[in-house]
Chain A
């Protein structure tokens, strides 16, 4: 996953209303009207949040004319978590090599007199 895509994912998640919308969608599909209910917010305002979530690939919206129910797409969320995990692997393997190399250096040092 590209850093740009991750930025979009995290930017979409940085808003409390959008996180609440995602939490609601985690329990099933919902229309704009249904999603707007818990918030003191106009339908256009909710629609705007849905557009941001849709652009980030976090939700998909149905084509059914008026209702257009939204549903959660968890893939980008998982990618964001995997990103950290990738770094962990990167460094753990680097440190394995670092330790091997340090041992090698010291063996040489002992054979040829300690290097400064």
Chain B
């Protein structure tokens, strides 16, 4: 079992943070993220299969993936690569698709791969309200909203 930890999801912060130690060197982990053949084998929750996977891994390149649930429902997601530093770092936008393939709200995914002997320490961040485009205008608003949100839920 690989070591795992996660934080940030329950504290109502605006970014989900997950760290993991994976049993492979960064070069292989990076490949597993960026080669469609490999990515299709693990992307999505347990029991899901990947039925479509296109990854144009270069700055500005698009990616699109379809995950099929065990019940047969298809979930499409897409985004654009912002930064690629092999084998250390990947930054891309993420959006679930709405009907007719239009992207929904954009979020930002940042993945770091750090060498740890023969293993890799993965640091994963998924910014819920922190998109590249909207970051400056929305940052304080969203963050305050979420701080408040936590209070209200605690009260309720």
Contacts and interface: CB of A to CB of B under 8 A. Distances in A.
Q: Do A and B bind each other?
A: yes
Contact of A97 (B24, B29, B42, B142): B42
A91 B29 contact: no
B132 interface: no
Contacts of A7: 105
A77 B150 CA distance: 9
Contacts of B133: none
B24 A81 contact: no
Nearest to A95: B20
B153 A78 contact: yes
A30 to B, nearest CB: 15
Interface in A84-98: 84-85, 87-98
A13 B148 contact: yes
B152 A96 contact: no
A10 interface: yes
B28 A3 contact: no
Contacts of B58: none
A85 B150 CA distance: 13
Given A95-B122, A96-B46, A88 B9 contact: yes
Interface in B100-141: 104-105, 122, 124, 126, 128-129, 141
Given A10-B129, A81-B149, A103-B23, A93 B45 contact: yes
B91 interface: no
Interface string B2-29: 1010100110100010101011100011
User: What bracket does the count of chain B residues touching chain A fall in?
Assistant: 35 or more
Nearest to B148: A19
B74 to A, nearest CB: 15
A26 B149 CA distance: 12
Contacts of B23: 99, 102-103, 106
A39 interface: no
A13 B145 CA distance: 5
26 contacts: A3-B96, A3-B104, A4-B104, A7-B105, A13-B145, A13-B149, A23-B152, A26-B152, A77-B152, A77-B156, A78-B153, A81-B153, A84-B128, A87-B16, A87-B126, A88-B6, A91-B18, A92-B4, A92-B18, A97-B41, A97-B46, A99-B22, A102-B24, A103-B24, A106-B24, A106-B28
Given A3-B105, A105-B32, 18 more contacts: A3-B98, A10-B129, A19-B145, A77-B156, A84-B9, A84-B16, A88-B16, A89-B45, A91-B126, A92-B4, A92-B18, A95-B124, A98-B29, A98-B42, A101-B32, A102-B22, A102-B28, A106-B24
